[in-house]
Each structure stands twice: as C-alpha cells, then as structure tokens.
Amino acid sequence: MPRLTDPIRLLAYKDALRNWNYTGYIQFELTEEAHRWIRRELDDVSLKELGRRMFEHVAAGGEIDEVVEARPEWLGQYEFHHDLRFRIQDKDVYIETRLHYRLPLVADESWILVVNVHAQ
C-alpha cells in the first residue's frame, strides 16, 4: 500500500490524532456490522479507546496508508481514504478513515472520520 507522504495531509492527520481525547477530532460513522465486529472481536472496546490506540500507533511510528478513492459512491467527494493496520488484543485490525482538513492548515481544526473497522 502507498504510504501517506504528502507533508500537509500527514501533518493534518497527525494533528487530528493528537487531539484524540477531545470531542470531534476522531469521529465514527460505522455500520452496524462494524459495531458488531468491535463488540465481538475487541471485547466491546470503546470508540474513544479505539481513537487513543490509533493515536498511539501513529505516534510510535506506525504507518498511514493513503489510497486513491476509486469507489463510485465516493468519487468527487474524497480524493483519498487513509488506512491504519495494527494489532489490538492480539488481533490484526484494519481501520479505514477519511481526513477532513482545509488549507491553509490550522492547528486543531483537522479531524478524522472512521468509516470501517474489521479484521485485516
């Protein structure tokens, strides 16, 4: 997978993650299937805790994948989506996100929408 290397988007993504403990910086729009998977496979870890783990993963040097959006329902709305892959409770987890930011980049304004969580 291609990594997120664009310096502005990378800064925006990390800025949003740094604010994981505050409302609005990591938001969730998950299907019921994704919620069921979290309850079943991750012992119902809270969404706030999931945000903290996303932050810790990236802060420790974990990679952020940047994928050109090709799905017809999202073309024109999003140029990319961003994926995180790491372990939680001895399970390989895939987290799909969408980055929301504006230019010029302003600290503490970017936010991330988590749209899917499931096994890798």
Asked if residue 113 is part of any domain, the answer here is yes
Of 83, 102, 108, nearest to 9 (Cα)?
102
Q: Please answer whether residues 81 and 69 qualify as being in contact, where contact means their C-beta atoms are separated by less than 8 angstroms.
A: yes
Instruction: Give CA–CA dist 64/39, Å, rounded.
Output: 24
Asked if residue 2 is part of any domain, the answer here is no
* φ/ψ (deg, to 5) at 41: -95, -25
Domain of 69 in residue numbering reads as: 7-119
CATH number of the domain where residue 100 is located = 3.30.2310
Asked if residue 46 is part of any domain, the answer here is yes
Tell me if residue 81 falls in helix, strand or coil: strand
Instruction: Give CA–CA dist 68/3, Å, rounded.
Output: 11
Q: Quick one: pLDDT at residue 112?
A: 98
Instruction: Give CA–CA dist 30/68, Å, rounded.
Output: 21
Sheet-wide strand order for 80-88: 26-28, 111-119, 91-100, 80-88, 65-68
Output the pTM of the full model. Answer: 0.94
Asked if residue 100 is part of any domain, the answer here is yes
Asked if residue 56 is part of any domain, the answer here is yes
Of 52, 31, 46, nearest to 96 (Cα)?
31
Asked if residue 1 is part of any domain, the answer here is no
Asked if residue 78 is part of any domain, the answer here is yes
The tally of domains found in the chain comes to 1
Q: Quick one: pLDDT at residue 77?
A: 84
> Per-residue pLDDT for the chain (120 aa), expressed as one digit of tens each?
799 999 999 999 999 999 999 999 999 999 999 999 999 999 989 999 999 999 999 999 999 999 998 888 877 888 899 999 999 999 999 999 999 999 999 999 999 999 999 998
